[in-house]
Amino acid sequence: MADKMMDNLLSLTGEISLITGGGTGIGFGIATAFVKAGAKVVISGRKEEVLKKAVAELGENACYFVNDISQQKAIPDFVNQVENQVGPISILVNNAGRHLKKPMSETTDEEYLAVLQTNLLSVFSLSREVANRMSERQRGSVILISSMSAVMGLDRVIAYTTAKTALIGLMRGMVADYSKYGIRVNAIAPGWIESDMLYKAIDADPERKAKIMNRIPVKQFGKPADIGNAALFLASIAATYVNGLFMPVDGGAAYAF
């Protein structure tokens, strides 16, 4: 009986979710959790072959749209396309991201802006477009994927750190503006999660890898499913009164240095 009650609390049956960057890594982990919970899941990204493979694994409750989220002017048409073909979006997960590993002294203005474009400016535009539609329906959940770089100083990721920290401000502003329309806005700060992006960043830098592992109290990297489960909670009715939460999912790394 208790298990059935918990299943009901975490059920996303009848919900339509849009997950940007949902074809791999953390985005795919979130998509997997949502599909298992009964949601209709729309994933988006730039590479159709990646999205096709992901949807084949996710099953019949998933579909994809090829889209470059950094193209802000195209966002209204993109959201129109999703809602016209799939239905009204009730859960938005802003997961698509762009990384740059360079010290500030070597980061150009153009590189800095390119990271902010994907990780912040486009998140603002997509969140506004979807939240405005949610407002008309008087319900919705928006989840922003921030980073532990928003709570600790990490070297050589100045542009990424700026964008992911700014998402906390975006979350707070959205809570103030949209809560009266029945929309909840929360943010997850993943720690070091197993993904191609992580291994690309650390495999060629053993010293950095050792330093990272020493900062994680549980002494292991997280998995995409760990972020998927956190997002599932925030999107579900189990979190009905959770609004404006900044949730680190990092094995304790943010508070153990």
**pLDDT tens-digit map of 130-156:** 999 999 999 999 999 999 888 888 888
Any bridge partners for residue 249, and if so which?
A: 190
Query: Nearest to residue 40, comparing CAs of 61, 10, 18, 55?
Result: 61
Output the CA torsion 234→236→240→242 (10° steps).
-10
CA distance 97 to 92: 15
The reported pLDDT for the residue numbered 108 is 95
The one-letter amino acid code at 76 reads P
Regions in the chain scoring below 50 on pLDDT: none
Q: What is the CATH architecture assignment of 2-246?
A: 3-Layer(aba) Sandwich (3.40)
pLDDT at 228: 98
Q: Check if 160 is active-site.
A: yes
Domain ranges of the chain: 2-246
pLDDT of 6 reads: 62
pLDDT at 205: 81
On whether the CB atoms of residues 30 and 227 are closer than 8 A, the answer is yes
- Find out whether 81 and 61 touch, Cβ atoms under 8 Å: no
Candidate list 160, 181, 241, 255, residue with the active-site label = 160
Q: What pTM did the predictor assign?
A: 0.93
Distance, in Å, from the CA atom of 144 to the CA atom of 231, rounded to the nearest integer, reads 10
pLDDT for residue 147: 93
Assigned token pair, 78? 């993109």
Share of the chain above pLDDT 90, in %: 78
